Amino acid sequence: MTEGLARWAMQQLLQQIKGQIGLTSFIEQHGVNGKWLKTEEPYDIAVSKFFRIMEHKAHFQTDEEFLSGWDDLGRRMLRLVRRIHSNENGR
């Protein structure tokens, strides 16, 4: 995956997965190859695989943990996008 917003977002999501003890193993036990879950070399994966990973993440975590992760990712992405847009417009 090349540098850019997509790579950054995938790394952030994978760090959330790696940050919860047992979640990576749980996802792997449900048929997702661990190579897709490496933060140091994120893949540009198909949406179907992405949602399979999210499905298992949602099953493993509490509602609060899952939604908190999405909220955190969304806030950080919003800051980054605004900063990029601001730099592109010379602000």
The pLDDT, as a whole number, for residue 30 is 96
How does DSSP classify residue 72?
H
Q: How many domains in the chain?
A: 1
Pairwise CA distance, residues 10 & 38, whole Å: 10
Indicate the average pLDDT of the chain. 93
Count CB atoms within 10 A of the CB of residue 18: 13
Write out the residue range of the structural domain in which residue 22 sits: 5-88
* Average pLDDT of the segment spanning 56-75: 97
Q: How confident is the model at residue 91 (pLDDT cuts 50, 70, 90)?
A: low
Whether the CB-CB separation of 5 and 82 falls below 8 Å is answered with no
Q: Are 60 and 23 in contact (CB under 8 A)?
A: yes
Which whole-number Å values give the CA distances from 26 to 21, 53, 85, in the listed order? 10, 10, 38
